Amino acid sequence: MSDPHRHDRHHRHPRHDEPTPSHGRWHRLAHRLTPHSHESADKLDPALESSARGLRALWVSLAVLGATAMAQAAVVAASGSVALLGDTVHNAADALTAVPLGVAFVLGRRAATRRFTYGYGRAEDLAGVVIVLTIAASAVLAAWTAVDRLFDPRPVAHLPAVAVAALAGFAGNEWVARYRIRVGREIGSAALVADGLHARTDGFTSLAVLLSAGGAALGWRLADPVVGLAITAAITLVLRDAAREVFRRLMDAVDPALVDRAERVLGEVPGVRGVGELRLRWIGHRLRAEVALVVDGEVTVRWAHRIAVEAEHALLHAVPRLTAALVHADPAPTPGETDPHLALAHHAGA
């Protein structure tokens, strides 16, 4: 038996003065005192707030990295340090990765259409792919530069200024990395987390410049390329983690703990005899759920609908960043009865 309403679009809660499957005395009192709604307009507000937070994180990090790159560029012009020039280019590229992710956040705020019925949240996943490719390009460039320096060592001039600029580059990138990763995890944006990891790789590159400057001060001409190769290996590890995160998001992977929590919450809803197929998927930084519940086959359609509404209500409150749930109610088979789907198909064929 299908639920007669699309729960992710709209539904009417049972009146609180009517008996419902899960409303106890204190639950009814709390609902009377605390206004709430799961209408689609109310669900969109937290989603838009998340997008706004993501955009704010991008613009703040863009300003910090832009200022860092400009300061480093001034030192490059004065010192002629090729190593610092490479770090400056990395920082500028990292700042510019905010552009595709910002576009994705803006697209994700657009309403769904008849063609894109799930909206434009997937744009964030595409931005994540662009960011992973940018990290890969940074790794290739770092490796190429390190190998070139290994065969053709070059002296580093104005070492104190280069060291200060390298420290500034590391500090700026690490601050941006932590900020992006924290906000990305809070709003559920894998692309923003990947972008934060990318900023961290550029921080490693800045440390490479600092270490190479220290080695050059001690007279070791191969310090720059050797440290550069070590940093390339570190960038490769970060690339692996970022690529895995984005790949999982593209394949609709979710944390199994969320599935366990959803199943546990659904099983506690009065009237639910069992939890069948449960699916969770990310669309941008929002979760959607689809679940089939088993209810008593003797209940009325209206009562089964109420159970489905209560199940959706429990899910939306228990699962973080879940903004929509489609609940399907199936009657439990009576002794000797076949699966309801098979019986329906047999009846239709007859």
Domains and CATH numbers, the chain: 25-36+254-349 (3.30.70.1350), 43-250 (1.20.1510.10)
**For all residues of the chain together, what is the average pLDDT?**
76
Numbers of helices and strands, H then E, in the chain: 11, 3
Predicted confidence at residue 44, as pLDDT, reads 38
Going by pLDDT thresholds of 50, 70 and 90, the confidence category of residue 131 is confident
pLDDT digits (tens, 9 = 90+) for 336-349: 555 554 444 444 44
pLDDT digits (tens, 9 = 90+) for 208-258: 778 777 877 787 777 767 777 777 787 788 788 888 988 998 898 998 999
Contacts of 233 (CB under 8 A, 6+ apart): none
Output the pTM of the full model: 0.67
Predicted confidence at residue 15, as pLDDT, reads 36
Which whole number is the average pLDDT over 51-56? 80
Q: Give the Cα separation of 106 and 54 in Å (integer).
A: 10
Which range has the top average pLDDT, 22-26, 153-157, 195-199? 195-199
Is the per-residue pLDDT at 9 higher than 50? no
Is the per-residue pLDDT at 36 higher than 70? no
Residue 156 near residue 224, CB atoms below 8 Å: yes
126 C-beta neighbours (distance < 10 Å), count = 17
| Sign of the alpha-carbon torsion through 112, 115, 117, 122 | negative
